[in-house]
Each structure stands twice: as structure tokens, then as C-alpha cells.
Amino acid sequence: MYLEIVTPEASLVSGDVDSVTVPGVNGEFQMLNGHAPVVSLLAEGKVKFAGNPTIAEGFESKFTQVDGKWVLEINSGTVQMSDNKVIVLAD
């Protein structure tokens, strides 16, 4: 599936991933290839993804790797999953 992470600063991530985990307002949830369409608000927490998408130059320091997954700390945001494309608008 395809992942985009966009912040007010820049588009931080774009590319194919295996899974995406986000901090929903009602708890953390994971999306995999073929997941049902969803739109959700995000709470403060960690966006985690497995795979090797492109991370925008100059923003690599915002990400860490834990247990083979990339991790980005966010304050809030929204996520949309549709047709195997995940878009995270994060703050």
C-alpha cells in the first residue's frame, strides 16, 4: 500500500509500505494492504510504518527506528485510508 505523511512544514514520507499504525483518538490501530476505507482523527502519539518509503531530505532526524519500523511522533492529525493509499495529515 502507499503512504503519504504530510505536515505543515512539508511532505515527509511517500512510498510503498507493508503496514501503518496510528494513534487514533479511541486507541491505536493498524492498517494493512486491503484495509477497509477509514477516516479518523489522530491523537498525540506515534505513527509507525514498516517498509522503505522515501523520507524527505532534511527531515530524517524526525524519525527513529524501533523493532524494524519507522516511528514519527505527532501531536494530532487525521488519517484517511482508501484504495490501498494512506494519507496522514499530522501536526
For the chain, domain boundaries:
2-90
CA distance 91 to 74: 6
CB of 49 closer than 8 Å to CB of 4: no
pLDDT of residue 83: 96
Q: Which CATH superfamily is domain 2-90 in?
A: F0F1 ATP synthase delta/epsilon subunit, N-terminal (2.60.15.10)
pLDDT average per 10 residues of sequence, the chain (91 residues): 97 98 97 97 98 96 95 98 98 94
CB of 32 closer than 8 Å to CB of 46: no
pTM: 0.95
**58's grid cell:** 532534511
